[in-house]
Chains A and B, each alone.
Chain A
Amino acid sequence: MNAPVLDVRGVVKAFGDNVVLRGVDLAVGEHEVVALIGGSGSGKSTLLRCASLLETVDDGQVLLDGEDITDTRIDADRVRRRMGVVFQAYNLFPHLSVLDNVTLAPTVVHGRTTTEARAEAHELLARIGLAEKAAEFPDRLSGGQQQRVAIVRALAVHPRVLLLDEITSALDPELVGEVLAVVREVASQGMTIVMATHEMGFARQVADTVAFLDGGVVLESGPPQQVLGDPVEPRTRQFLARVIDAGRL
């Protein structure tokens, strides 16, 4: 494997007395899709928020294309431009139309012309089947549609890596499929993706690597068949058994 796009080394993060990450290591190669799994509160979201510089780490390093982005001298705004983040609650801007949501960062942050940005936004929206919703406001869209727009918004800046933070957790079961289909397509085009997810079936199909977070560390990681099918660690087995009981695998 080439040098990783995103390289998390011994990251520690605590909120007060609550130590969420106790030294997480995770390397994500170019075009690789990594699924982060783990119980609630295991630190999946926190890890993604540290990687996207929405939180400062308490120790360790995060490298993006070999550059230490946790360096205090680094311009965080410039780093964030190279990543795309999609949130559990979509976080679309309610006062902007779908089109403006998508073209905001390309025009304001990346200095592209409005015409250019709009043309690409229309193209991206067409690909996810929402071309006719370009002029609508987010409130008028279903949750699944909003989340698809949020993915497109993150893709419009041509990120080096796409971070997906439990993007289907707030959706009705019947809407999960349409969002995952978009992720699957994006992955098939070679986007590097790190996703925190509870969708084990989807992780098995799409991910190249599954990393199980427990007790603030990556307890076990490897190909989905191995981690989800024949885990080494007893804790992973326990977790998967609970997930199977809940009917999510």
Chain B
Amino acid sequence: MTTGVALPAPSELELSRRAWRRSRSRRSTLVALLSTLLFAVVAYLVVTSAPGWPRVRTTFFSPSVAWRSLPTILSGLWLNLQVLLVGGVLVLVLGLLVAMVRTLRGPAFAPLRIVATAYVDLFRGIPLIIVLYLVGFGFPALGLQGVPTSPFILGTAAIVLTYSAYVAEVFRAGIESVHPSQRAAARSLGLTHRQSMRIVVLPQALRTVTPALLNDFVALQKDVGLISVLGAIDAVRSAQILVGQSFNFTPYVVAGLLFVLLAVPSARLADAVSARARRRQQSGNLL
């Protein structure tokens, strides 16, 4: 608490403690810096002295191929971004819905709960790539009127199905982390189950799970590249086509780097959010 009253000047003892902490932190920084540098140099020397390095450099790290492939891959990445945004929103909605069904109490909701549990078990267990094949090739094969055949839509649907199962569990953990006494307080005020959920439980649950959700978002960012297996011309597929034309693998590296660039801001955001949550919950700074 700030009181506006200036603290007395620190004692000799406190000054020596501060000096010691400063010197310790300087030393740690130096050690970390040096060891990182050393590792980088060793890694560089090992890789570049390898017998196949000149060959690898031209086929994987060719600047000219990279530059030429960039526009095509970027336009493919735009498709990934669209899948990411549409899918991200749908995953949040579906995940929350499934989580809320799973936390419903009372025997009347048992069938709904069972369906939700089965859904989560199924789609958390099955590899995403298999879901992609089943949805992407199975649905159109039905030949039903009105079933979309675009790999964009089908790919997004498959990703949403898989990720919603994960995200539902994250939400559920959050909902169950809110102490039952909060629900008791809300209900005793006369709020209905839904009102308590919306106004009291969910806002607190969301705060708890935001870091975990952002982590899943980072995972989703790279997994949108998997829609390429359905033939959608996304960043990965564009790179694959370019590789096929030139027999040079640099486009894969370019696509990979672009995905990394995409993920870095979300990863930093996730870190910042978790750090903030931690600061809010712990007042001490020792551990």
Chain A residues at the B interface, C-beta cutoff of 8 Å: 52, 54, 77-78, 80-85, 87, 89, 91-95, 104-105, 108-110, 153-154, 157
Cβ contact of B181, chosen from A78, A82, A91, A109, cutoff 8 A: A91
Bound: A52/B190 CA distance, A: 10
Interface stretch (choices B61-69, B80-88, B191-199): B191-199
CB distance from A59 to the nearest CB of B (A): 21
CB distance from A80 to the nearest CB of B (A): 5
Bound: A88/B87 CA distance, A: 44
Task: Report B192-231 CB contacts with A as 1/0, cut-off 8 Å.
Answer: 1001000110011001000000000000000000000000
Do residues A77 and B204 form an inter-chain contact, with CB atoms below 8 A? no
List the B side residues contacting A52 at CB < 8 Å: 188
**Which residues 156-211 in B have Cβ within 8 Å of A in the complex?**
181-182, 184-192, 195, 199-200, 203-204, 207
Bound: A164/B192 CA distance, A: 21
Task: Report B34-51 CB contacts with A as 1/0, cut-off 8 Å.
Answer: 000000000000000000
List the B side residues contacting A153 at CB < 8 Å: 189
List the B side residues contacting A108 at CB < 8 Å: 191, 195, 199
List the B side residues contacting A84 at CB < 8 Å: 188
Bound: A154/B184 CA distance, A: 13
CB distance from A145 to the nearest CB of B (A): 15
Do residues A93 and B187 form an inter-chain contact, with CB atoms below 8 A? no
Do residues A87 and B185 form an inter-chain contact, with CB atoms below 8 A? yes
List the B side residues contacting A109 at CB < 8 Å: 189-191, 195
List the B side residues contacting A78 at CB < 8 Å: 190
Cβ contact of A105, chosen from B181, B191, B203, B207, cutoff 8 A: B191
Do residues B189 and A105 form an inter-chain contact, with CB atoms below 8 A? yes
The answer to whether residues A80 and B195 also contact, given A94-B204, A95-B204 and a CB cut-off of 8 A, is no
